[in-house]
Amino acid sequence: MTCQECGERPATLHFTKIINGEKTEIHICEKCAKEKGEAEPGTNHFSIHNLLSGLLNFETPIGDSPAQSFYKQQQTNCPKCGISYQQFTKIGRFGCSVCYKTFADKLDPILKKVHGGNTAHTGKVPTRAGAAIQIERKVQNLRSKMKEYIELEEFEKAAETRDIIRSLEQRTSWEGGE
């Protein structure tokens, strides 16, 4: 497949955009990608900004409106490096490790979209102790779900969840889990 931009070199980069259900595919060579700014100069890596720009800019206000001036007043900066969330969306990377904590509330929905709802790393489970660890994780998830039910005042669901937790904990104690 040849590059759709220059028509000379083989296409090595393939982009797929889906906007409002319409799929568009672009096939370009590495040289054209660098010229268009799709790859970071001096490296063989893509710009994270271009990869995540649609996800990162969903909060960015458009135009000169009262909402924009309010947004600028409420804008938070990292206390260590001073970068703002708006600067992060333009650059595509944070300035320091404190940025992750500073902008955590804005990153959580983005990470949920990117990783299919998972925002915590669970890792692989060893085969020997796998069952006990999986039950332990399930109990942790059920406990957080039970807290949500209590906050929402859905006490029947909370009680059902509590009973499931108890049965799982009893099962692990019978199998030598604790």
* Domain co-membership, 76 together with 116: yes
The residue that leads in pLDDT, 174 or 149, is 149
Residue 56 maps to a domain: no
- Whether the per-residue pLDDT at 65 is higher than 90: the answer is no
**What is the value of pTM for the model shown?**
0.39
Residue 52 maps to a domain: no
Residue 24 maps to a domain: yes
The residue that leads in pLDDT, 14 or 80, is 80
Q: Which of 56, 50, 48 is nearest to 86 (CA)?
A: 56
Long-range contacts of 85-89 (CB under 8 A, 24+ apart): 85/59, 86/60, 88/56, 89/49, 89/53, 89/56, 89/57, 89/60
Residue 62 maps to a domain: no
Q: What is the pLDDT of residues 104-124, one digit of tens each?
A: 888 877 777 777 777 777 777
Q: Above pLDDT 70, what percent of the chain?
A: 72
pLDDT band, residue 11 (cuts 50/70/90): confident
* Domain co-membership, 111 together with 146: no
pLDDT for the residue 164:
95
pLDDT band, residue 64 (cuts 50/70/90): very low
* Domain co-membership, 137 together with 158: yes
- Whether the per-residue pLDDT at 166 is higher than 70: the answer is yes
What domain range is 110 assigned to?
Answer: 72-121
Residue 1 maps to a domain: no
Residue 58 maps to a domain: no
* Domain co-membership, 79 together with 117: yes
pLDDT band, residue 68 (cuts 50/70/90): very low
Residue 3 maps to a domain: no
pLDDT for the residue 71:
46
Q: How many domains does the chain fold into?
A: 3
pLDDT for the residue 21:
75
Residue 167 maps to a domain: yes
* Domain co-membership, 111 together with 140: no
